Structure 1
Amino acid sequence: MTESVMTLNVGGTVYTTTRATLLKYPASMLGSLASHDLPSTRDKDGHLFIDRDGGAFKHVLNFLRSSQLCVPADFTDLDLLAAEADFYQISPLIDAIKEYREGILGRKGRLYYLEIIEVRTGSTATMPTSNSRVKTILLGRKDVLLTLPPAVIGTDFIERLCCREPLEYTELELFGSPVRLRVGEELANLGWTLVSSNLSTSSGFDNKSQVGMSLIIEHTFRDRWCREFGLDEPIKANPNHTMMLEEASV
């Protein structure tokens, strides 16, 4: 009975299993190691030593025990595990990882993006004050824009969107102050994620100024937002827009 138990030191982590488990797939490296077909290295305690990732080996060993790939729902080391499966040459595990990866890709939803572009022009341009001009634009696909509530796209969007096709990308000018901050908060509350925010600056002189040459500064803020819709999740217009859309189509 004692001879059937084997202890392995994998990258500093010690595992105890049976020879029969390691022989589950005889053509694999572990199968050859258990059947003494491969020369082995031992640590100071006499355990078989394998210079590989010790944490990942528990998933390899569990697969040998059950023939099933069992990893946590938030497992993030799939590439590492695939490399270990390849090293140990366990073909069924390689296939199981491939199938699991394809399943993950199949479960992913559809990603959609929106952009908020705000341009501030003036002698300082850092704040929307009386000596600056502010223009804010929301860009996105028409059907995605229509999922947003009036607090985001306003109530006068019909004239600007009714002539667009649902899948057509378009832009809406947003009004109010500070509209970029307000819309950003609304999007975050609706499940959108800010993926990037950039600022570019340019400057020049206003030759038409009544008081001589004056410096004009332009700041352009660009926020990019993203949201994942489920594969079966419909892209439906916000209920607050339904009546207006129906009236516009008559």
Structure 2
Amino acid sequence: MSDDLLTLNVGGVQYTTTRHTLLRYPESMLGKMFDGNFVPSCKDKDGNHFIDRDGELFRYILNFLRSGRLKLPQNFTDFELLENEADFYQISALIDALQEFKKHSTDGAYLEILDFEETAYFYRFYSDPPKGINSDLKNGGLVISGSKEVLLSLPLPDKTHKEVEKSESQYRSVNISSTACPKMALVHFLQSNCWQLVKSSFAYNSDTDGSYMVHKYIWFKPSLNL
């Protein structure tokens, strides 16, 4: 029985594995579902066992069951969602591994860059619009947010560095026009100094506030040796 092949339909994504793998942690929900004492009643039209959970995240659950080790990609950020899945399946070893992994993965610095293009107004992104709204920034520019230490390490204009140095806050945002800080030069600096792009998104809007486009980038550096 332990070597039976099983196909699971998890949220519409199919996985094929063995009963032995699913029984790795007998006290987990999956262990109890497939130990032979309980017959799952919910099946899809092809007769596969159906579990109404996140199908994409289940790959990490299954890989953990196969190896007993947690392996996540460098740009993984859905820790809370994966923890919810681990809690649902009642795999305590995975919950512990996630907490340990997250502890080490967050030992570093984050940097947020908002890249505005051909922007007339962008009230939608701030309760208080950036100070540069009536300056060159409205035609394209960057809003860079991070710790004081991180901002001072970047190749920003001298004027901006002086503003950051004078600030009493340890975390702040600075507005830079595209002409004062070429975007590609900043990207090359980050890549060559061990920064990793962990998330990006794009938004476009055209309404009574004007038309604007904005790219949002989240960069992460594993250590604070800036």
**TM-score normalised over the length of structure 2:** 0.55
Does the residue aligned with 1:6 lie in a helix, a strand or coil? strand
**Unaligned regions of 5+ residues in structure 2, if any?**
113-129, 137-146, 169-175, 191-217
Matches within 5 A, 1:130-209: 152-153=158-159, 169=167, 181=177, 184-185=180-181, 189-190=185-186
Does the residue aligned with 2:61 lie in a helix, a strand or coil? helix
Does the residue aligned with 1:54 lie in a helix, a strand or coil? coil
Does the residue aligned with 1:55 lie in a helix, a strand or coil? coil
Q: Deviations over 1:75-112 (max 9, x none)?
A: 23222211111100001111111111111211x22769
Q: Deviations over 1:11-51 (max 9, x none)?
A: 11111111110000000000001113444122222211111
- 1:6 Cα shift? 1.4
Kindly tell me: are residues 141 and 73 of structure 1, through their superposed partners in 2, closer, same or farther at Cα, counting changes over 3 Å? closer
Alignment match, 2:21: 21
Q: Deviations over 1:198-226 (max 9, x none)?
A: xxxxxxxxxxxxxxxxxxxxxxxxxxxx9
Question: Which one-letter code corresponds to 2:44 in the other structure?
Answer: D
Does the residue aligned with 2:62 lie in a helix, a strand or coil? helix
Does the residue aligned with 1:45 lie in a helix, a strand or coil? coil
Larger Rg: 1
- 1:187 Cα shift? 8.5
Alignment match, 1:70: 71
Higher alpha-carbon deviation: 24-33 or 37-46: 37-46
Alignment match, 2:224: 231
Q: Is the 8 A contact 2:3 2:20 kept in 1?
A: no
Kindly tell me: are residues 187 and 51 of structure 1, through their superposed partners in 2, closer, same or farther at Cα, counting changes over 3 Å? closer
Measured in 1, the distance between the counterparts of 2:64 and 2:47 equals 25
Alignment match, 1:12: 12
Measured in 2, the distance between the counterparts of 1:148 and 1:42 equals 57
Alignment match, 1:86: 87
**Unaligned regions of 5+ residues in structure 1, if any?**
121-125, 128-139, 155-160, 171-179, 194-225, 234-250
RMSD: 4.3
Measured in 2, the distance between the counterparts of 1:228 and 1:8 equals 35
Measured in 2, the distance between the counterparts of 1:64 and 1:147 equals 42
- 1:118 Cα shift? 6.8
The alignment of Structure 1 onto Structure 2 pairs a total of residues equal to 162
Q: Is the 8 A contact 1:69 1:93 kept in 2?
A: yes
